[in-house]
Amino acid sequence: MFRLIPVVVTTAELMSAHFDADKISLDGGKIEPKDLKLEPRKWLAINYHISDVVSQFSGVNTNLSTSIAQHLGSRQVRTVFVVQADHLQPFLVWLETHFPCAPPRN
């Protein structure tokens, strides 16, 4: 089994943001600092939307057999991991545990 998983290694501080979407103002799309909780992370998975043109050639079947949301998600959402350089080895151990690429070693 073979997998390609994009990883960006950085020395930057990584944070995740937790907030209630209902607290975002509809006027300017802002959220009050008191309604935002930031947590440091060693690594993050970032989902992003690829262009419609690229997704045409993704190799994913174009026959709609699931919901429209699942269909679009499987064709157009991609994930890249961002990892702090100091935590690269623990990340790779975690990755192998959650996305095994080979049969377990004896």
pLDDT, tens digit, for every residue of 7-64?
A: 999 999 999 999 999 999 999 999 999 999 999 999 999 988 776 665 555 555 555 5
What does the mean pLDDT of the chain come to? 82
Burial of residue 83 (number of CB atoms within 10 Å: 0-12, 13-18, 19+):
buried
Give the per-residue pLDDT at 68. Answer: 64
Tokens of 51: 């262009």
Instruction: Please give the angle made by the CA atoms of 13, 15 and 20, to the nearest 5 degrees.
Output: 165
Confirm whether 26 is domain-assigned.
Answer: yes
Confirm whether 41 is domain-assigned.
Answer: yes
Range of the domain at 56: 7-98
Q: How many domains are contained in the chain?
A: 1
pTM for this entry: 0.68
Confirm whether 106 is domain-assigned.
Answer: no
Confirm whether 48 is domain-assigned.
Answer: yes
C-alpha torsion sign, points 50, 51, 52, 55: negative
63-83 tens-digit pLDDT: 555 676 666 656 667 889 999
